[in-house]
Amino acid sequence: MNGEVITAKDLRNYKALALHKVLRQGKLPFVRLIELRRILQRDTVVIDVEPELPQQPVNKILPVERFAIVFSNKPNGLPKILSLRQAFPVVPHLNLTVANEPKDLCLSELPVAEQRLVWTPTGLLLSLRHWLRLTARGELHDATQALEPVFFPSAERVLVPSLFFSAGAQVLPNHLELYLLGETPVERTYGAYVPETKPIGTAASAAVSLLGFTYEASPQLHGLIQEQPQTLAGLHRLLSIAADDFIGQLRQTITQWATQATFDLALPLMGLVRVPKQRVVEAAAETTEVWAFLTTQSTREVGEALACWPDATSPIDDTAIVQNQLALGLDVPIALLNPVAMISPAQAAEYNGLHHITPLAYVVIGAGSLGSQLIANLHKAGQGSWTILDNDQLLPHNLPRHGLSGRHLGRPKAEALAEELNTLYELPTASYHVVDVLQDEAQSLAPIYQDANILLDTSASVAVARHLALDVTATARRISVFLNPSGSDVVVLAESNDRKLRLDYLEMEYYRALTQETVLEAHLLSTGSAIRYANGCRDKSSRIPQDQVALLAAVGARAVRSAATKPNPLIKIWQTQPDLTVTSLAVSTSRYRQTSAVAGWTLHISTRLMREMAKHRATRLKHETQHFRETGGVLLGAFDTQRRQIYIVDHITAPLDSQERGDSFIRGVEGLLDKVEAVKKLTNGQLDYVGEWHSHPPNNGTRPSTDDRKLFSWLCDHRIADGLPAVMAIAGDNVNISWYVDDLAKGHAHTCL
């Protein structure tokens, strides 16, 4: 060994002093201090280590190995661990060193900054013994650990299409454009794109066209990290280990290009070398390592250096081509780049911990605060393709809670959001239409709806949700996600896969839940005043914290992703507390029965309600006098006057002052108005009084009696003031219920369910 022998008092590095103290104590029986030296002004501790060895080691580690622990001159530097045995085996996890220099062991995969925080002299010695033991057993490189690269990556990165990393790729592009995407004081990142997929945005500089050469190498066994090649000849030397004729293939390719006018030999050459990597000998290739290099010379100059033709002025034809096998590119310098695969949705799903994702085509209506963030969450999780429909522009008041940045101000939200989504993956996954889906020109959207798997409504518009449920002809499931007025809760309504429980039915079930669950009493109440951002009467924005919107957008995205993979319908509400803890409530659903047109109106009746009406009637079949009593109550629901739809969702049983007799029923009024008003308040006016219902005695059918007709006529007259039809239901045996509807223009009609 070089350097001078020193004593402990000559040590300058505090880490070396600490290591010497541990060794002098002699409490680690597997290690022995040999001497102290100073080599090139660096404190060096020489030790012998006795590792635990198997009876039949895979790698030749001796019973006693000698090492020099060379400490840095910098206070925070970490020491090098150098083997002093010249024949120390070439194994994984050795740092790059100059030829014939001592092997430098890599003891930790932690970043240097993290190692500094936990470094101790005892920890170093234990790690060294552990390294030797596992290396002897051939287990140091864990089976789940990535294979060692052939050489350390360059600080200059290049993003390349993921196709180059695909083991089964057969046809690869031979024309690329190189963009400088960004740089720091110590590194640069380029992007190599096929011309059809240029990068989006202003970060990329103008393109430099290149000719792309791809070489498929023979499989190599991972092991010692090599020094980076500086020339084409150096690269050829690395590949010739596996008997590859890299230069021969490159020479042949350039020769072929020279005979075709489509290839401009004045362009620089970018090479991508695909090297299948094996973990052990005779094993199948486990991964594909990609090397990337650039030539500073033109492709023609590279061809001249490789003796592809006699000289640059000679005519290039089949007879003039000369292949000089001795010209290996010693004078062709190359710049190595660190290739990084561009990402695909499937790979993004893997990064999100998702497996076996079925790509779905989403059509999203609404690109507002919630929608923009929810879409981004799903898109970053690799969830399919996206078509965004919205007719709004991004304005300043949107920015505090929107997924888009201020550089998109004034642009249509749909256009800007689709553009942002398309910067994520190597191929576009998003499109857009600046359109109001409720207007007549939206008829052109029919093919888009028909090609979708999911129609995702994030518009927070009842009109849009009804339109998607009732007016759009498509097999796609409808899912609606929206915030409550205060922004504290997020609601997800997802249709069943067969669409038997449609979005409009889920909407009604959601309203009903608001009247049943005490935790939802304040759900639709607004908190705080709105902010007026312009002069229009509708130019107002709510006061909702962005962190709350972001949290609920994450919850909503997870719920959509989950619901899209399951066939059942879903109504679920997540509520945030002031400290942003989240609770959830799943709402049970009822199917609906749809009637044929009754006096021009279509009724949609909850089957749960019908069962409850029958159950309430059954409680009056017997009482203390053993006589049947008629009963009834008030029907609750909603009118859609645009489509002439009536949703009958719930009921209020007969008030206490009602008169229930064996042959008649007179509904009372005690407390009834307060109950109806409470329902209207809890549902923000979405559920209201719809009509009346009463029961008939057993074996009496459900046709209206004379008194029933008088009641219905009276009811019709009183509903004229509301501009709505009267509705009356008569419940009979076996959940048989007749429904009567008044049409102000056409008279009365009924149906029986």
661, 682 Cβ separation under 8 angstroms = no
Locate 231 and state its tokens: 């020339």
pLDDT for res 140:
77
110, 51 Cβ separation under 8 angstroms = no
Spell out the CATH class of 592-752. Answer: alpha beta
393, 410 Cβ separation under 8 angstroms = yes
Q: Where are the beta strands (DSSP E) in 404-530?
A: 430-434, 454-457, 477-483, 489-494
Q: Give the sign of the dihedral formed by CA 82, CA 86, CA 87, CA 91.
A: positive
Domain layout of the chain by residue ranges: 4-137, 156-342, 347-586, 592-752
Q: Give the sign of the dihedral formed by CA 85, CA 87, CA 90, CA 95.
A: positive
For the CA atoms of 177, 183, 187, 192, the dihedral, rounded to the nearest 10 degrees, stands at: -10
155, 340 Cβ separation under 8 angstroms = no
Q: Residue 436 and residue 505: Cα distance in Å, rounded?
A: 24
Radius of gyration of the chain (CA): 38
- Across the 753 residues of the chain, what is the mean pLDDT of every consecutive 10-residue run? 89 94 94 94 95 91 95 89 92 75 88 91 96 89 61 78 70 71 85 72 64 78 69 86 81 88 86 76 70 89 86 46 58 88 90 88 97 97 95 94 95 96 91 92 88 97 96 96 94 96 97 96 78 52 88 97 95 95 96 85 95 90 69 96 96 91 88 95 96 91 88 88 91 90 58 54
pLDDT for res 323:
43
For the CA atoms of 92, 98, 102, 108, the dihedral, rounded to the nearest 10 degrees, stands at: -40
pLDDT for res 223:
61
Topology classification of domain 4-137: Ubiquitin Conjugating Enzyme (3.10.110)
Q: Give the SS3 label for residue 557.
A: helix
The DSSP H or E segment spanning 742 is strand 737-743
Domains 4-137 and 347-586 fall in the same CATH topology? no
Strands 268-278 and 208-216: parallel
pLDDT for res 316:
45
Kindly report the pTM of this predicted structure: 0.81
491, 426 Cβ separation under 8 angstroms = no
For the CA atoms of 343, 345, 351, 354, the dihedral, rounded to the nearest 10 degrees, stands at: -160
Using alpha carbons, select from 62, 61, 64 the residue that is nearest to residue 50.
64
210, 180 Cβ separation under 8 angstroms = no
DSSP string, 86-115: TT----SSEE---TTSPPEE----S-HHHH
Cβ-based neighbour number of residue 536 at 10 Å: 8
Residue 673 Cα distances to 376, 634, 647, 670, 680, angstroms: 46, 10, 20, 8, 11
Residue 192 Cα distances to 167, 202, 570, angstroms: 19, 16, 45
Q: Residue 580 and residue 560: Cα distance in Å, rounded?
A: 21
The DSSP H or E segment spanning 546 is helix 546-563
pLDDT for res 170:
54
Q: Residue 523 and residue 573: Cα distance in Å, rounded?
A: 10
pLDDT for res 301:
92
Which CATH number does the domain 347-586 belong to among 1.10.10.410, 3.40.50.2000, 3.10.20.340, 3.40.50.720? Answer: 3.40.50.720
Using alpha carbons, select from 44, 30, 32 the residue that is nearest to residue 2.
44
Residue 591 Cα distances to 26, 262, 727, angstroms: 79, 65, 20
